Structures are given as structure tokens and as C-alpha cells.
Structure 1
């Protein structure tokens, strides 16, 4: 066979045997399309997305250097990757591995990662397992919204990263992992790492870093994390060695270290701790924070309820040289039965003798013992130190917290710590001189609750504004007005007790009205409280026009029609003092009239904004109709016969009651006598003249008028 033909057949065979993979950016469905996650990764191209349905997947997966997205369809609560099956071999026990240069475009999201026991590696440290749940080596994946729990390993039982230049971990729950070091997270030789909004709890390390261990990393930023109930020999929560650390806005609670640093331990690291809370952590030394050399800045932090069995319930160091600055922080209700409840350095040691401490604008208020127990002189200024200490503006009085029993360590309004700091160094957010401690007392008045804005007159433009100033009465209230929140202009200044204001802008359209309390020249942090109202264009107040009143004489029905001069909400029709409400859109009405009774009619419109306009009126009189009868039909049975003659005689001679005397008056002479029955007899039996009109059919008396009466009967309704 020619070589070219063999090549063509080979290509065709490849198309027939191997199914075509989706193009880049395609979705792979597990398990409906591909049975396992690893098979989907094997088949995927960079940029593809692997969608995994709920379930437990017993496999150990490797991203193989592919920047693909692996995401669950229903979240970590119902989607599990369990690495206990060791599907990659006994040495590759990490549940998830990134080790081939994956970038931030390699995404893992929405899984519970469990059952891993780590990848077996040998290096200068020895042969150990690394990364039980997730193992990252020289890669920078994106990991979000995952739970890492019940994994084991020597280093990084939950998560392990080595040699990554840039890494972000976000929105993770790392729980119940156990190992030798860094049982929640272990980082080594990394560049810039950010760990944010993670819950790392109940992890156990035999040596260091129950929750997190950081080793020789350029910069690690921990922000908005909670570290709760983790345990280790040193650094129950965090152990940081030879690294840069920014520890900001974290909660560190109930962590325990057998030796040093119940909350965190820092070894020869440059660290900053800002806006964080350390509560109820415990260790032999440094219940809250332990140091073994390095520098530490603590700013706007709270350390409370921490315990050291030996010394330094809040902060303690070893003999290595440390430099600590504590600024604008509160260290309170920490306890150490055998030593300082505050800050402790060991006495006259090789490092401790030259270690430094700066305490500024802080509160050290612990139950018993020496607050500052260090062998060198500390620089202390503008602080409360319960046991006293030489320095500038050092107080020993009770700082008066709002409610220490409930954990509220903000300052009471009567606290001696308010406005006593150095205004050349700091200014509180409310613009006043600095307070002492982690939480300043905001002297700005509270913003008003929502305002009530409404039109005073629905047909006008005057606005009524009302509010509740509450129990904290400000000095004054500043009112402003405008059509845009960014372009308000002053409207009025009112006493602080005022609760309302009326204002007429004189025009229609949207309007913003704001009220801002002022106390001591300060206004609320959130600014004024505002309401918005749209003042409508006043409706034209034109009454009803061209009222036409008439009646149908046959039915005695009144007929009214008119022109609406404007848009009305309703029209009141008053008939002889009786009111009837009509819709505002109608322009005619019919009503029955009582014959012979004058009917006074009024129409009073009301505009859509509630204005009552002038009434229009007319009067109708439907006259009583003349009676209808058949002359000669005395008994009113519609037949002229002898019975009518007899009825006439009985009425004339025996006074038989009659409804219509005109019908008995057969000759229409205006009198009832014997001539009437004779006239009828002659008509009936002797070809006499017929009775005058109305004859044979119902009708009215054409006249002349007489004194006889007549009522309509059944024969002439």
C-alpha cells in the first residue's frame, strides 16, 4: 500500500475510534457525560468548565497544569471529593493536586474536600506527607467556596502550598484536620498570599500552627477570617516564621497552645496586627500573642479573656530580641495566675534585655498583676495602665467600658479616656481629639430615623415634614433642600427639640428634604436623613360647565347632561337635599321625578387632589298628567254596554262610588243626570250619536273644563 494511503487511513481511523472533544470553552458534565472528575480533567482543554453534580466522588484528582474551571452545581454541602481511595497511588494521597504551573485561571469552587492524607515528598526536612486536602506546588490556582475537612498529613492537612508566587484563598471553611504542623493551612517559600473570609476551626497540630503555619514567605495577608478552637504546641491559631504578615480584621477565639502564643506565635517575622480581636485564647506564655524575635505592631486591636499559665496573658516573648508597638488598642480582663496579665518579656535574657515596647493611646486594664513586666524601660504615653507606669499622660483610673460583662469594650460617655490623647498624633473619625483604646467614643449625634414627607394641601405645593429626635436631643437641627443629594442648599436652622417643619417651594416636581442634627458642631457619621417627595402639578380647578336639565313628560324622567371642566375624582348629585355620589368621569344622569313635585338638583365636583368646586344647579317640575278614560265606559271595563247604563243609574240615584265621573257623563254636559244613561241607551240600541271624545279609546277630556273628577283606571293605565 502506498505510504500516502496508509497515512490517510490512519487519520480516518483516529476520527472513528476517538470521540471528538468539545472545543475550547466547552462544558464537561460529571457524571452524566464523563463518569469521573479526573477523566473530565484529562479530556478538557484550557478554558473549559467541568460541572459536577451533587454526590461523593471517591478519587484523587490532579489538574495536570490545565487552567480549567472545576465547579459543583449545588455547592460544598452536597458535593464531596473524597481522597481516601488513593486512586493515584499510595504516595499521591492528596485529594486535589496543583503541581504543574497552574495559574489563577485554574479554578476550584464549591466542593467539600475530605479524606486526603497528603503527597509523600522528601526534602531537607525529611520524608513527609504534604497537603492532605489540597496540595499546591509552584502553582497559583484560584480556590473559593470550598470546605476542607477531615484530612490528615504531616504538613498542611487541609491545605499545603509551596513555591507559589501569588495565591488567593477565599471563602473557605477548613475544619477538623489534624497533622504535624499547619493542620489547617501550611505555606512555605511562597510569594504574596492572601487568605480572606475563611473560617478555620477545630484543627489540631502536634507542633506549630493549629490553624495556619507560615514559613519563609514574602508577604501573607490574613483578612476577615475567624480562627476558632485550634490547638498546637506553639501558635494555637497561627504560627509565622521568617515571613511578612499582615493580620487585619480577624477574630481569634478559644485557640490553645501548650507553650507559646495561644492565638498567634511570631518567629523572627515582621508583623502588623490591625483591627483584630483575640478572645479567650490560652498558652503557657502569651495567651493572646507570643513572640520569638522579630517586630510586631498592634493597632486598634482588642485582647480580652486570654489566659497564660505562666506570664503574659495578652502578649509575651521569649529571650529573642523583639520590638513591639501597641497603639490604640485595648488589653483587658486577661489573666495570668503566676505573672503579668498584660505584656511580658523574660528578665535579663540575651534578647530580652534589649527588646523594646512602645505603648501609646491604649488601655491595659486587667484584673491583677503587673501590666507591663519587661526588663527594659518602655515608652508609654497617653494610656491607661491599671498597675501604673512612668510615662506621659498615663492614667490608672477605670476606663469605664460600656458593658464589659457582655463584651462591649467601647467607651461609656463618662469615660476618662475620651478626648485625652495627643491630637498631634491622631484625630478620631468624628473629628475630635483621640480617645484611648481600640474603640473610640463617637461624639457625633445619631442620625434621625426616617422622615415623614407629605403634602400639606393635596391641591397645593406646601410640604409638611416631621421626624422623631429620640432621647438624645441635639443642639440644633439643620434643614436643607434640593433636587439632588449632591446639591443641597440650607433651608432652615431649628432648635434641637423641633419635630416638624412646613415648607412651600412654590413649584411642582421632585424635591429632596433633609434634616441633620448638630451637637457640639458635629453631625452624624451617616450624614443627614432625607426624604423625597414628588409635588404634582396642581390640577385645574374648573367647575362643571353647560349644565342641561330636561325631562320626559311621558315617563316623568329627569335628564341631565353637562361638560366636565377638569378631571374630577367624583361628582356629588344632590336631589332635594339627598346626596348621591357619581364617578368623576360621568357627564350625564337620569333620575325619576315625582309628578307635580318641584325637584331641585345640584352637581358638586371634587378634584383629584380633594378640592370641592362650585356647585351648578337647576330645577325640574314634571306636571301631574290629565286622567285618561273612555266616555260612556262607566264601570271602566273597556266595553260600552248595558252594564254601563246600570252603573250610571246606580251612581246617579244610589250614589255608587265611581273612579271617573267624566266617563259617566256620556253627553259631556258637565252634569251627571238621567240624560246620561238615556244618551248611552240611544247610542247602543237606536243608532244614537256616539258619546263625545274620548270615544271607544282611552284619551283625555278635550274640554270644555267642568267640575267632574276622574282617576285613571285599569282600563286606561
Structure 2
């Protein structure tokens, strides 16, 4: 791989270059028009667009719309959804979700805002085989507050494809994730001068952000991480050089260049760190409080809504959340678990330094050596602490055998489950051996002191009871349990290493009392744990086998 020419530009040059390009694109013009409601006035988004004139707004209600949109030959339409998670445009794997096909017509008075674009499939013939989420041809709209996720292309640009020397689109506060293509899975800038600002590019395959534009692409205040093969790539040669203007970027794998004509102009710092998403495995790209992307955007930009320096990426971290704190501390570090499984003890401390009582969720996640998160292995629990209040608990976590060897992270979180994390704390532990299991296991059993203030379901813990007699026992005991309402019941027995040794019940049971025999003839003496689950409640009973 050849390293491209690297140039350094001042902040002043960046400011004026963006200012001039936005003026040229007409970003500061406006037009008043009527509002067309979908589905109120028209049943489909396409019908609403076709009926619109320049300056009109097509307002789309929350819901899922199975459509493949082709932008009409009209400039200045504003297409607004109810919110990026509320208005979903589903391409049904038939074609690109949204295509701008009319050359040299669409400028920045055309705006698309507040949608998820998903299930697009850019199919032949060329050029329709490019840009599964958005196919943009000689057009310069503003695309903002969008999720472009789960799209594919038979050729290039699973999430987005940009072509045309006059294309100057502005893409801001957009998530481009989990898209695929034959090549350049996330974004392919083949030509033009697009501006990507506050964009998160993650989970795309192959590759996140790619440009071979003979003009230049600009990438600012953004995150590119956890993409397959590369996060950001520039490719060019002497005949067709390509330029990327970039700054205030977290690119976990750095910026790769191919060819002597691949030029990178640095407009600000680049960091190469894990952005610390809440859970990229579950496509949750909000930031954890320890993220290096917080307050790391261009300080000359407008402040985030929480009045702090702008963050990198499509989702800012709100630093005005209550200052409740959690601390997880291992009892006997360092923790090393053998290939057969085991357990570890840890302390939990939660405090509320605020002047008012706070109610919040608490849960625990585990990060695998692959960087994937799973869980929660505890919670979410709803807790309430009075002003100045604190609580501590001693807990034990069982770890099943056969897990993937490597370093794990055990992390407690407070906030609004699952995406809003106010505070987090954790520690590492190591699993040795040659295990291959890397998915969620029901054998991750947590025991220890319960959490006061846990929000309870419709029936109380006393309505779900579990007892065993005799206890201690040899070689069998009878487990008796009672449920108030008919429900699905699971009753299993585990050893102290967290391994399941017996499955006693797994099925529907009527309300009332039930019993089942646990025969431990083939097990060694020791302590075992019976765990009963029904309608979201859990009861446990320690069993002592004496032979």
C-alpha cells in the first residue's frame, strides 16, 4: 500500500472553503410553500413527492413505508419524517431506497430529514447497481438526521453512492451502519465534493468510507469504527488523484491510502481509538461516558445542546444527566477463569450526590475478546436513591465453561436502559483455554446481596416461592415451588462454577403449588444453586449435597 501525499491546512482555510461551497450551493436561500401530509393527503411518500412543488414540505408521519423513492424533477422540496427512529422507509430489497437521478437540478434547498432508510438493494443494470440506501447522481441536497442501515448494493456503496463532478451534498448527523456491497460497503464517493459532518460509519462490509473522487471529499467531526477491512480509505493515482479533507475524526483503523495520487489534507486531529459505543453489537451507536469522542469535535463549531464542545459522530453524549455514580471492584484481582468455567466476587457501590432523589436503571454487560457486547447478565433493575444516598452490595458472577479465550470486560451501567448511560464502571478478567463459545449463555448466573429499590412486576416476590426438602440431602431432594398465575416456568440447577447440572422444569405450568425431584446420585458432594424463573421473576435456593 502506497502512502499518499499529506498536506496540512489551517482552520481558516477550512472555514472559508466550506462557507464558499455552501453559498454556491444555495444553502442560504429559502422558499415558503405548502405542507403535504403522508399518509393524510397521500397514501405513499412517492405520491406526496410527485405532488409537491419547489418550496413545499412533505411531512411523513411515524410508521413503516415500503417504497423505493425516485426524487421528482423538482428542486427545493423538503421531505421530513417524524424522527430517524420513527419514520422508516423500507426498500423491500427491490432497489435503492432513495435515488436522485436528475443531473444538475437538486441543490441545498432540497432537504431530507428524520428517517431510517433500510433494506435497499441496488440491483443491475448499472448505474442502478450502486447505492443501496441512497444513490446520488449530480445532486447536492442536504441529508440530515438519518439512519442509513441494513442496505446492500450489487456493485459499490451499500449505504450511499455519490457520483457527478457537480455533486456537493451535505450529509450531517447521519448514521451509516451495517450496509454491504460487492465493494465499498458503507460510503463510496466516486466524484463530487460532498461534506460529511457528524457522521457515524460502523459495521459496514467491506469497508466504511471510501473516496476516489478527482475533486475532494470532506469528513469532519465523525466516527468510523468497527467496519470490516478498513474504516477510511483514499485511492488515487497520478492521472486521477483523489483528495480527502479530514479532521476531528475517530478512525479506529486509521486512514489508509492506495496509490501515489491519494492525498489526505488534515484539517484537525485524528484519533485511532475505540469510540466506546453503548453496544455496537446490537447496533446501538450512542456513546458511553468514557468515550474519547466526547468534547473532541471542532471547538469552533456551535456547542452541543448540552452547552459543551461538540462531540464526534451522529449522536452527542448529553452531559447534563444526573451525576449518579457506579463503581464495580473485583475482590481478588487479577481474575483468571479456567477453560472449565468458574466465578468471581465483586463489590458494587452506587451513589447519588445530587440534591434530589434519582430513579434510574442499573444493569451489567460483558464485552467479549472480539469487542462484541452481550447482556445484560444482571438487570435492568429500576433503583431509587435519595439525595446524598448510597448503597453497596457484594455479588458473585458465575462464568460458564467453553467460552472464547481472551480478555473480557465486566461493566456496570446506570441510566436509562439500554442507550442512555449516565455512569459506567468495570474491570477486566481473563479466560484461558481454547473455548470457542462467544454468544450469550444462560449459564451466566449472578448471585449475592439483592438490590433494594428494585422495581417489581405485578406480583411480589412472595408470590413466587422455591424451597427444597430435605436440605442438606443425599442423594435426592424435592424442590417445591408456587406461582400465583399460570406461566412458563424454568427450573435449573447449577454448580458453583456456573455450569448447569440439571434441568428440572421448562414448560407451562398452572397457578398453584408444584414439586419436582432433583436426583444428584451422579454428582459429587458440594453446594449447588437451584434457579426458578417465572413471569420475569427469579428465585434461588442453595442446595447442599452431603455424601
Q: TM-score range by the shorter chain?
A: 0.3 to 0.5
Structure number with bigger Rg: 1
- Higher RCO, 1 or 2 (CA under 8 Å, sep at least 6)? 2
- Bigger proportion of residues as strand: 2
